[in-house]
């Protein structure tokens, strides 16, 4: 597992001409006391759209890093990949965003759901966490319904993670799980159950991207209820802090907010 900085910001150099300007923004942030590391990302879909290859992202980033003499680290993200699309990214990426959107809402095998519910009965009841806007209440029906919606996605994330791990060998990498491409924001109980599921299938998630209220389109202001977003953000942070201790997830597990044309 590659260590992940506390603050990172994803940037997309879509045509391999923006890395220097993007890096300059991080230099300015650092001069103001914000130690944020860049995560250059580009999805398989974006590569296909512009006719580029994954190694071009690393090459552009390294050229910008060398020109600016940046010595504070960076990441190259294989953005929104799955087993079918990850191969070209393996040699040039050290950050992998596991996209399991196609498996959200598709029930796992009934035996897997039953086993998950049976081994996670400790989640049933009320959990009152510091920083949470309201206590978490989980009954067996909610535990089972959430497993039916998200367990297959967690299992697929585990399969994708192990595929990458086998290919990378001893080379460490960052693991992110994307759960933002769904119909509605996850509630705190749902996020807690999702994190339990990821831990149960052996995914050492270092960052997770849930769905939030509103729209995060690129190049324009956030569209939505800012107070509601802030409440969801703080609730998710509280859930993550609890899940790290409860499920043995990486201590650095953090929350990711994704933007995009479909967000």
Q: What is the pLDDT of residues 82-135, one digit of tens each?
A: 999 999 999 999 999 999 999 999 999 999 999 999 999 999 999 999 999 999
Higher confidence at residue 15 or residue 171? 171
Q: Examine the pLDDT at 22 and tell me if it is beyond 70.
A: yes
User: What is d(CA 133, CA 144) in angstroms, rounded to the nearest whole number?
Assistant: 24
Q: What is the mean pLDDT of the chain?
A: 94
Residue range 227-231: average pLDDT?
A: 96
- Report the Cα 185 to chain-centroid distance in Å: 15
178 DSSP assignment: E
* Percent of the chain at pLDDT exceeding 70: 99
Nearest to 189 by CA among 225, 243, 245: 243
Q: If you average pLDDT over residues 135-149, what whole number do you get?
A: 98
Q: What pLDDT shows up at residue 53?
A: 93
Please give the pLDDT value at position 263: 45
Burial (CB < 10 A; 0-12, 13-18, 19+), residue 32, is: exposed
Mean pLDDT in residue range 231-257:
97
Q: 257 falls in which pLDDT band (50, 70, 90)?
A: very high
Q: What is the mean pLDDT of residues 249-260?
A: 93
Mean pLDDT of all residues in 140-159:
98
Domains of the chain as residue ranges with CATH: 8-255 (3.20.20)
């Amino acid at each position: 597992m590659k260590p992940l900085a506390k603050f990172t910001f994803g940037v997309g150099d879509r045509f391999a001409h923006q890395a220097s300007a993007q890096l300059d923004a991080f230099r300015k942030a650092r001069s103001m006391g914000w130690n944020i590391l860049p995560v250059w990302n580009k999805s398989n879909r974006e590569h296909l759209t512009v006719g580029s290859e994954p190694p071009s992202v690393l090459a552009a980033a390294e050229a910008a890093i060398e020109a600016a003499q940046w010595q504070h680290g960076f990441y190259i993200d294989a953005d929104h990949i799955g087993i079918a699309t990850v191969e070209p990214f393996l040699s040039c990426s050290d950050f992998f965003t596991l996209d399991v959107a196609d498996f959200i809402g598709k029930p796992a095998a009934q035996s897997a759901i039953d086993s998950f519910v049976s081994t996670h009965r400790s989640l049933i009841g009320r959990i009152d966490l510091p920083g949470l806007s309201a206590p978490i209440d989980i009954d067996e029906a909610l535990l089972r319904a959430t497993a039916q919606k998200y367990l297959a996605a967690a299992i697929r994330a585990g399969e994708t993670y192990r595929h990458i791990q086998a290919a990378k060998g001893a080379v460490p990498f960052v693991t992110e799980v994307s759960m933002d491409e769904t119909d509605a924001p996850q509630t705190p109980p749902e996020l807690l159950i999702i994190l339990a599921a990821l831990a149960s299938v052996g995914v050492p998630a270092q960052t997770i991207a849930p769905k939030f209220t509103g729209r995060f389109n690129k190049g324009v202001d956030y569209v939505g209820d800012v107070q509601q977003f802030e409440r969801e953000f703080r609730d998710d942070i509280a859930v993550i802090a609890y899940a790290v201790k409860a499920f043995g997830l990486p201590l650095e597990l953090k929350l990711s907010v994704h933007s995009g044309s479909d967000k």
